[in-house]
Amino acid sequence: MKAEDKRPVVKLSCAAPAAEFTQITLSHGSGGTQMRQLLQQYVFECLNNDWLQKQEDAAILQVEGPFAFSTDTFVVSPLFFPGGDIGDLAVNGTINDLAVSGALPQYLSLAFILEEGFSSASFLRILQSIRRCCAAAGAAIVTGDTKVLERGKGDGIFINTSGIGRLRVGVQLGVSFLKDNDCLLVSGPLARHGIAVMSRRKGIGFETSIQSDTQPLHEICGMLSDALGTDLHLMRDATRGGVGTILHEITSQSRFSAEIEESALPVEQEVAGACEMLGLDPLFVANEGVFVAAVAAHKATEALALLRSHRFGQQAALIGRLRSDLRAPVVLNSTIGGRRVLPPMRGELLPRIC
């Protein structure tokens, strides 16, 4: 099977196809002639590679040693927002799930649910984002699927990506590796993605220069784990639910509490203003290019310097530490000198943020 069909990659352009249609129709999901046209003219044209060209039911891959496997579905609304679109999220989201697991992202699947009437121009624009993000992350779309819903049964486009990546040598990440007094770092400023999406949402929209932070974290995560080895105990990307939710996840899955310094939280001024206006706590607003790391206390300064040396980590911060002697899961020392318990998020702050 591996020897099969070594046709060269013919083309990597991603121009608009000779438009035979301007909207997705039900027949694009039929498995028949029109679906093949959609795949050929749009998907394969844009994401061309040997695996996709074979058009088999599965891609044949090989990974030496242990690998990470992750999945994520994207239903963000609106589809296009300042700093990105659903295509960026779909690639970077899964890249980042692999990256924080200590893996080097390699192979992605790509599955579309399209709504009848969705514009082919928007589809092409999203495919171009997918192509760009895959190239930036050095990952390839190797297998896929397309379904079409009747008008009114979906909302334009939903995307699932699943991903595979070889585990980096020597990483040991997970809640079971956490230690008392571990330092907690965040790799960048909070809440940008959530606020950027909300700024374009119907009924809420406001003028802002805030852009989504959607970006691939494999490089910065890899740099950190290579430098720290087993002194890096855990990484989690702080998407839905934000950094606050990650802190609650970590503490609920381990025997530790988290003590956080509010004054250390990196929140850009315009983001802070928007959060105040919307009544949101930036700790619980989504990011798409920020992760939380727990590192051995004696490596905290080195880790912070490393993160800040990377273009995606310039505003990294040491925000607190793990403790085994606190009663509440997450405690916040506030900027005005108070000390309060940070409750987990209940209800839904920002539906369809990713």
Closest approach, Cβ 1 to a copy of itself, in A, equals 6
Q: Is residue 20 within the footprint of a copy of itself (CB under 8 A)?
A: no
Interface with a copy of itself (CB under 8 A), residue from 13, 22, 33, 269: 33
Nearer to a copy of itself, 131 or 248 (CB): 248
Contact map string, positions 85 to 124, toward a copy of itself, x by CB under 8 A: -----------xxx-xxxx---x-xxxxx-----------
Residues numbered 249 to 268 that lie near a copy of itself (CB under 8 A) are: 249, 252-253
Closest approach, Cβ 214 to a copy of itself, in A, equals 16
Nearer to a copy of itself, 7 or 269 (CB): 7
Pairing, β 183-186 against β 157-167:
unpaired
What are the DSSP calls for 173-241, one per residue?
-SGGG--TT-EEEESS-SSHHHHHHHTTSTTT-------------HHHHHHHHHHHGGGEEEEEE--TT
Q: Which stretch binds a copy of itself (CB under 8 A): 11-19, 192-200, 206-214, 236-244?
A: 236-244
Closest approach, Cβ 67 to a copy of itself, in A, equals 6
Q: Is residue 67 within the footprint of a copy of itself (CB under 8 A)?
A: yes
Q: Is residue 269 within the footprint of a copy of itself (CB under 8 A)?
A: no
Interface with a copy of itself (CB under 8 A), residue from 20, 150, 180, 276: 150
Nearer to a copy of itself, 146 or 257 (CB): 146
Q: How far apart are CA 179 and CA 224, in angstroms?
A: 18
* Sign of the dihedral through C-alpha 89, 90, 91, 94: positive
Q: Name the maximum alpha-carbon separation found in the chain.
A: 67
Q: Is residue 155 within the footprint of a copy of itself (CB under 8 A)?
A: yes
Nearer to a copy of itself, 40 or 314 (CB): 40
Closest approach, Cβ 7 to a copy of itself, in A, equals 9
CB 21 within 8 A of CB 121: no
Q: Which stretch binds a copy of itself (CB under 8 A): 148-156, 187-195, 303-311, 320-328?
A: 148-156
**Helix (H) or strand (E) run with residue 158 in it:** strand 157-167
Interface with a copy of itself (CB under 8 A), residue from 32, 138, 205, 229: 32
Q: How far apart are CA 2 and CA 61, in angstroms?
A: 8
Q: Is residue 62 within the footprint of a copy of itself (CB under 8 A)?
A: yes
Closest approach, Cβ 353 to a copy of itself, in A, equals 9
Q: How far apart are CA 136 and CA 132, in angstroms?
A: 6
**Helix (H) or strand (E) run with residue 317 in it:** strand 317-323
CB 42 within 8 A of CB 123: yes
Nearer to a copy of itself, 207 or 348 (CB): 348
Q: How far apart are CA 313 and CA 311, in angstroms?
A: 6
Closest approach, Cβ 121 to a copy of itself, in A, equals 22
Q: Is residue 345 within the footprint of a copy of itself (CB under 8 A)?
A: yes
Residues numbered 300 to 339 that lie near a copy of itself (CB under 8 A) are: none
Burial class (CB in 10 A: 0-12, 13-18, 19+), 192: buried
Q: How far apart are CA 314 and CA 307, in angstroms?
A: 7
Q: How far apart are CA 44 and CA 47, in angstroms?
A: 5
